[in-house]
Amino acid sequence: MTSQTAIVRDATEASFAADVVEASRTRPVVVDFWAAWCGPCHQLSPLLEAAAQRHAGEVDLVKVDVDQAPNLSRAFRVQGIPAVKAFRDGRVVAEFVGAQPAAVVDRLFASLAPSPADRLAEAAVAAASDEDRERGFRAALEEQADHPVAVVGLARLLADRGAVDDARALLARVPADPDARRLVAELEVRGQAVDAGELAALRARAASGDARARLELGQALAAAGEYDEALALLVEAARDPELRPEARERAVEVFRLLGDADARVRTWRPRLAAALY
């Protein structure tokens, strides 16, 4: 818990998107749909505000007067009040209707607040040294073995010190996490690095028309961070039926490393598709 003052605000139809939907992408928001004439609403309100105070800085509380926001009431199917809906990442993740006892309210806020592993991982991310970060990530993983932030954070520290196999084993705990998938791709790409002499030899072979050398040069350039030149070579290699599966795999690894929002991915992905088909 924190010693901060709870954030409790009134939202209107005009401000709801910012105050609730977008704000919930940063931290959870509990919305209290209420009305001044509603007796049970006045019974529930102090319980919500007390819970928000206990979780200040972790969960926000927003109040919506249904008489002033009929469109929101319809959009969220509010048929009785008080109606409480919890938002995380822009969507409703929990809700209840009617005046509830303090225990129910407390359980709702507790389910939304950061877990002990969340707090440890967050502190580790902000730590000043690699030693402190590693200690924090390991402590978070003792609380939750598959905590994605702690897994990825510790895996990156391990990879940077050369313990790549240990990093890969750790990342296998969270195979669906986007950041973990990106780091796995980064490790695969980095594993194709060559020294300056080998790079020069690959350039010479590729210039002479060696298709395999073009593929290997593309891999090596990707490992060096020369992504545009690397992708051009990998896409060209994908036109060769014998090299196509390997070239496609290497190009896709680069796409994963860069992320879908990267302009180079948007440029080269359709070109790879054209080369494959």
Domain boundary among 112, 146, 171: 112
Region 211-239 average pLDDT? 94
Residues 208 and 250 in one domain: yes
Residue 38 bears catalytic tag = yes
Directed axis angle between helix 211-223 and helix 244-258, to 10°?
A: 20
> Is 3 contained in some domain?
no
Residue 130 contacts residue 114 (beta carbons within 8 Å): no
Report DSSP letters for 38-55, one per residue: -HHHHHHHHHHHHHHHHT
Residues 92 and 148 in one domain: no
Residues 241 and 184 in one domain: no
Residues 95 and 129 in one domain: no
Residue 41 bears catalytic tag = yes
List, for residues 23-35, the tens digit of each pLDDT value: 999 999 999 999 9
Residues 53 and 89 in one domain: yes
In degrees, rounded to 5, the angle at the alpha carbon of residue 241 between the alpha carbons of residues 236 and 244 is 55
Among 6, 38, 124, 230, the one annotated catalytic? 38
Residues 30 and 83 in one domain: yes
In this structure, the number of other CB atoms found within 10 A of the CB of residue 233 comes to: 26
Residues 168 and 95 in one domain: no
Report DSSP letters for 91-144, one per residue: EEEEEEES---HHHHHHHHHHHSPPHHHHHHHHHHT-SSHHHHHHHHHHHHHH-
> Is 244 contained in some domain?
yes
User: Which range of residues forms the domain containing residue 167?
Assistant: 116-189
Label residue 8 by pLDDT band (50, 70, 90). confident
What total of structural domains would you count in the chain?
3
What pLDDT was estimated at residue 2? Answer: 47
Report pTM: 0.68
Residues 181 and 233 in one domain: no
What pLDDT was estimated at residue 277? Answer: 82
What pLDDT was estimated at residue 6? Answer: 66
What pLDDT was estimated at residue 5? Answer: 65
Give the C-alpha separation, 130 to 73, whole Å: 49
> Is 128 contained in some domain?
yes
Among 6, 23, 29, 41, the one annotated catalytic? 41
Region 95-108 average pLDDT? 96
Residues 222 and 139 in one domain: no
Residues 97 and 120 in one domain: no
Label residue 4 by pLDDT band (50, 70, 90). low
Residues 54 and 122 in one domain: no
Domain boundary among 141, 167, 189: 189
For residue 172, what is the domain's CATH number?
1.25.40
Domain boundary among 112, 139, 163: 112
> Is 182 contained in some domain?
yes
For residue 33, what is the domain's CATH number?
3.40.30.10
Residues 48 and 99 in one domain: yes
> Is 252 contained in some domain?
yes
Directed axis angle between helix 263-276 and helix 227-237, to 10°?
A: 10
Write out the H or E segment, with its range, that includes residue 18: none
